[in-house]
Amino acid sequence: MFNEREVYQLSIGAACGLSWPSDRIVIQVLDDSTDPLVKGMVEMECNSWKSKGVNIHYQVRDNRKGYKAGALKEGLKHDYAKQCDYVVIFDADFQPEPDFLNQTIPFLHHNPELALVQARWQFGKNISLRPAN
């Protein structure tokens, strides 16, 4: 996330709503926001999902070195991330359907020579790309 005021709730909610066994999924929100207000809102949203029993981790970097790739590199350094068999990366304005993992993970699982599944996406219908008033 980077100052994603308009989409953070939808994106985090969609990731937390993925249909996958709860003991086999970790949600990690990587936040590079520079706006303290947005950072606070994203952290509160993560804490709200955590209070509902979702295995979610809110991670903040103090720099934007490497931008998205740098955030991913930092995010993968955490012990809980190292224990994961698969990593799925969603941009902040992407809201996956609940069955996204059921549609994609089998390609990797049944084809060990594959390292990546790229999926098509579209902007959410509930997102306004116009500035908020």
pLDDT tens figures, 51-86: 999 999 999 988 889 988 898 999 999 999 999 999
- Please check whether residue 118 lies inside any domain of the structure: no
CATH code (residue 34): 3.90.550.10
99 belongs to a structural domain? yes
Task: List the structure tokens of 58.
Answer: 């809110």
What pLDDT is stored for residue 130 in this prediction? 44
121 within a domain of the structure (yes/no): no
The tally of domains found in the chain comes to: 1
Tokens of 52: 């509902």
- What was the pLDDT predicted at 27? 97
Range of the domain at 83: 8-109
Q: Give residue 13's pLDDT.
A: 96
56-60/27-31 β-pairing: parallel
Is 127 within the bounds of a domain? no
pLDDT band at 120 (very low <50, low <70, confident <90, very high): confident
> Is 24 inside a domain boundary?
yes
Banded pLDDT at 100 (limits 50, 70, 90): very high
Closest CA to 6 of 124, 108, 107: 124
User: Does 126 reside within a domain?
Assistant: no
User: Do you know the residue count of the chain?
Assistant: 133
Instruction: Tell whether 3 is covered by a domain.
Output: no
- Residue at 18 is within a domain: yes
Could you please report the per-residue DSSP string of 60-117? E-SS-TTHHHHHHHHHTTSHHHHT-S------TT----TTHHHHHHHHHHS-TT----
Q: Which amino acid is at 26?
A: V
Distance, CA of 55 to CA of 64 (rounded, Å): 25
